[in-house]
Structure 1
């Protein structure tokens, strides 16, 4: 449909930005938050940090671009602090599920780290470390047999060789051994990718009950959060740090800084994102970009009824554009007043 408007992609897509150069160019606003967070995670060994905000305001995009910035030797934005050590971005965040166990989560961490190594090697045209092939094969074997119970699919990893590991099934391995495997991955990241360590993003923390959340964090304090070379980012609801401070002090004590709360992007910042997309997604680079499918005043009206949630703004814009296009496939743009906001 959007090709009819002159764009190669859905200009209102709600996909989060990825930790790559191309997407960093689409990042708008939040420079102060970005700089502050880079300072909070500055550490030579490891860190646990908290990013919060209401649903749909761009937390994942913020974290991904911060991690991309931390993977570079030079700042990507003027005035932005750079991390003392290059760190591998997390290309596959971990979705926390109700009933999550530490063992399940540690396996997800291994899967996520291996996927991040694969993606980074692909983006930078490097070879995947041969030393990790055996672990990759084992994870690939576990996912089809146990992965559904762990909340995994075959997507994050993939290997073809047989495994020579002492353990074969997920039931055979302990949480301590899984931590040792994570440490080995970090070691190979340092050796082959010449980075200090890796990011690991834990998402969906707001969907589990508070008691379960506190219990899980207390257990991770003795496993995942203790691993050198691992920068763990907790992504969740506003006030999450305060909850930890009150009910899991031993966890809050190791958190870098306190809590980076992301306010909604402003109306003008949302329009700047669309302007960048308008130029990026135009099908004919030799001519000026086509106008947005919806007029600016229409988009502003949608924003003002959205509580600043960029995801709901773009979803509403996309729904309206599709509905009108179905009725009139030759339409070039949609003015304010066509439909209800």
Structure 2
């Protein structure tokens, strides 16, 4: 029997990983009605195009896209992509298109109920093309990772020396027409991982891929990115921004009430007993919400951490006392800081950052730095250590703020 079974649950209701494209996970998703309506308007035609879904780190962008894909699959006959394409820095045009093609083929085979796909010459030709250029294994420049149904399957693209891009594109277009003959109006292809890429890398990739993406009929390319991608494209890649369908779909943090509703919904759907009391006190969720500015992924991750740590020490106790939970949060934050091996002056600067809601590089004097470039070096180091995050705005302004753990230690938020 698992830890969660002991707590009267089928699984972890605080699981921070993105929701999958399944009926079970769709029941766990709450809110975002306006965003769903906005997304639905974008894909109301069969033409295809590029859509941007942007928002802060950890607010639930991928889960939102997956929930929307599930609804489109069941209600609008739009083929979802169960394995999102994770874009890496050293991308290659041919590799990327092969990754997309492989993921679409896998998705069609997953939802097919006829059992007759192998009778199609187009489908078989497409699979043969992929088989010649993709070898099973881990690693590589472009990976197709399971963020939908299926878990951890991964493919690595080998160097496709003998395959030219026009051949791939031509066969992909024929395959899409075949898919439409299977009663699907179009296909959704999420491109994830843009949160962690530099703006210049994203611009370089999209400039190179512009014509290939916009020219594919009936494919909806969904770019999942941090806040500010559309503004970045407008300013530095106008040829790309002009082919984006509408304005970006902005995913804002859930309200505190919605976060509590999310957790209650998960517990309700995962319970195996008549009544289950949430193992993490409500007040802890409130604290985590305030310190992280509503970052759902951080809230769920820290709740999970608390449960695992407490149950490992006191397996007979199903409910975590508030005082113990608070101490665990503080201890984990202290450990995070200790593991960073910062100098005393760097810790002082980090404390000043935590006292501010957010800051910009032009405020370098407040952090006892000689100039903005010096503060940039400190900021880059803190970002790599997971102590602060960057927040781009709809304009050109860039702000930074400390993460939830550092706010727990240094800010004025009551814990």
- TM-score normalized with structure 1 length: 0.85
Name the SS of the counterpart of 1:254 in structure 2.
coil
Q: Distance in 2 between matches of 1:169 and 1:181?
A: 19
Residues 278 and 319, structure 2, Cα contact 8 Å, conserved in 1: yes
Residues 52 and 260, structure 1, Cα contact 8 Å, conserved in 2: yes
Residues 41 and 256, structure 1, Cα contact 8 Å, conserved in 2: no
Residues 81 and 188, structure 2, Cα contact 8 Å, conserved in 1: yes
Q: How does 1:188-267 map to 2 (within 5 A)?
A: 188-192=178-182, 194-267=183-256
- Aligned pair in 2 of structure 1 residues 38, 172: CA closer, same or farther (>3 Å)? same
Q: Which moved more, 1:54-63 or 1:37-46?
A: 37-46
Q: Distance in 1 between matches of 2:229 and 2:309?
A: 39
Structure 1 portions without partners, runs of 5+: 74-84, 158-167
Residues 203 and 234, structure 1, Cα contact 8 Å, conserved in 2: yes
Residues 92 and 156, structure 1, Cα contact 8 Å, conserved in 2: no
Q: Which has the higher contact order (CA 8 A, sep 6+)?
A: 1
In structure 2, the partner of 1:300 is 286
Q: How does 1:148-159 map to 2 (within 5 A)?
A: 148-152=139-143, 155=153
In structure 1, the partner of 2:168 is 178
Q: Find out whether 1:127 has 2:129 as its counterpart.
A: no
In structure 2, the partner of 1:333 is 319
Match of 1:274 among 245, 263, 268: 263
Q: Distance in 1 between matches of 2:31 and 2:279?
A: 23
In structure 2, the partner of 1:42 is 44
Per-residue deviation at 1:143?
Answer: 2.4
Q: Find out whether 1:291 has 2:277 as its counterpart.
A: yes
In structure 2, the partner of 1:161 is none
Q: Distance in 2 between matches of 1:336 and 1:241?
A: 42
Per-residue deviation at 1:49?
Answer: 0.4
In structure 2, the partner of 1:107 is 98
Per-residue deviation at 1:296?
Answer: 1.7
Name the SS of the counterpart of 2:316 in structure 1.
coil
Name the SS of the counterpart of 1:320 in structure 2.
helix
Per-residue deviation at 1:281?
Answer: 1.2
Per-residue deviation at 1:126?
Answer: 4.0
Q: Distance in 2 between matches of 1:128 and 1:291?
A: 48
Residues 265 and 310, structure 1, Cα contact 8 Å, conserved in 2: yes
Q: Distance in 1 between matches of 2:18 and 2:190?
A: 14
The structure with the larger Rg is: 2
Name the SS of the counterpart of 1:34 in structure 2.
helix
Name the SS of the counterpart of 1:116 in structure 2.
helix
Q: Distance in 2 between matches of 1:150 and 1:141?
A: 17
Residues 117 and 128, structure 1, Cα contact 8 Å, conserved in 2: no
Task: Give RMSD over aligned pairs.
Answer: 2.3
In structure 2, the partner of 1:162 is none
In structure 2, the partner of 1:21 is 23
Q: Deviations over 1:251-288 (max 9, x none)?
A: 1111111111111111111111111111211124xxx2
Name the SS of the counterpart of 1:223 in structure 2.
helix
Residues 95 and 203, structure 1, Cα contact 8 Å, conserved in 2: yes
Name the SS of the counterpart of 2:89 in structure 1.
coil
- Aligned pair in 2 of structure 1 residues 46, 303: CA closer, same or farther (>3 Å)? same
- Aligned pair in 2 of structure 1 residues 37, 198: CA closer, same or farther (>3 Å)? same
Q: Deviations over 1:11-37 (max 9, x none)?
A: 211222223333222221111111112
